[in-house]
Amino acid sequence: MPTISTHKRLIHPALRSLIRHIVFIEADFGDNPASIEGNYMPSPEQAMFINLYTRFKSRKSEEKSYNTVTSCTLIGAHITPFKLLAEESHKSVSVIFQPGGLNRFLNIPMTELFDNGYSAREVIGKEIEELLDKSHETISFDELDEIIQSYFLSKLSQVKEPLPIDLALQHLFLNYNTSIDKIAGMACMSLRNFERKCRERLGISAKLYARIARFHKAYKILETKPTIAWTDLAYKVGYFDHMHFIKDFKEFAKQTPTLVYKELREEHMQFQLDWDKL
């Protein structure tokens, strides 16, 4: 297995309502060639991933062959699991947005970015190439951090101001078992208007978003504690019983917890880190 190090950066105060985390990841495969894959399970997160010095490959659960991933990828909430393949040492930058943050940054409905990864160049334009060029020329993480955060700071004048709904969605992300009526109240909206705005900011309904957030939390626990009892895991993340847990697992992971557990025992990479715990 390669050695992997993570470097979590301190977010500039002006960016904190937009970005949750910026994390640099460095994987050293050594001198021996290797092909190591890992799961990217359904997730509520919105992110920008910049890959330096390598190209990952990916395939969705229903696909048989891998496709090369772009150097800078935007991804919103998604419900289809896919696998990523790494074949060499690499560095990458993970920019994890606040819930709804990618919508505020791009100013396009997240329904346009739902359930897939998209080339940042196709969505943002040629300016992303300049960001990539500068990132490849850096010699230190501090320099890379300055380039990444300076880019987003330069865009703040074009970013939509945060509203009560943004704080409400942050609450829902962390407290996914909260009733949608209560979250709508926190957003100072009627339930109907809240659901409409959720699709704009998240790409999906608030209820589905909460279900994905709960499943994602369960999977992250299972990935770090593969021996945990299913019932204990189900109750830990707030499922009514373990049958509801297994139902969600089959729907979102496209396989049973037993098969996931078997897969996690094999050699794999964790591409979806628990950003809040780094």
Domain annotation covers residue 75? yes
How much is the pLDDT for 53?
A: 83
Q: What is the pLDDT of residues 50-93, one digit of tens each?
A: 999 888 899 987 788 899 999 999 999 999 998 888 888 889 99
Domain annotation covers residue 271? no
Q: Domain check: are 94 and 15 in the same one?
A: yes
Domain annotation covers residue 174? yes
Into how many domains does the chain fold?
Answer: 3
Helix, strand and coil in the chain, % to nearest 5: 45, 20, 35
Q: Domain check: are 67 and 149 in the same one?
A: yes
Q: Identify the domain containing residue 259 by its residue range.
A: 211-264
Bridge partners, residue 91, by sequence: 26, 52
Residues 123/103, Cβ–Cβ less than 8 Å = no
pTM to 2 decimal places: 0.93
Domain annotation covers residue 225? yes
Q: Domain check: are 90 and 149 in the same one?
A: yes
Q: Domain check: are 43 and 169 in the same one?
A: no
Q: Domain check: are 124 and 229 in the same one?
A: no
Q: What is the pLDDT of residues 117-144, one digit of tens each?
A: 899 999 999 999 999 999 999 889 999 9
How much is the pLDDT for 189?
A: 97
Other CB atoms within 10 A of residue 211 CB? 19
Instruction: Indicate whether 267 pLDDT > 60.
Output: no
Q: Domain check: are 17 and 153 in the same one?
A: yes
Q: Domain check: are 22 and 113 in the same one?
A: yes
Q: Domain check: are 25 and 112 in the same one?
A: yes
Q: Domain check: are 76 and 201 in the same one?
A: no
Q: Among 77, 48, 106, which Cα is nearest to 204's?
A: 77
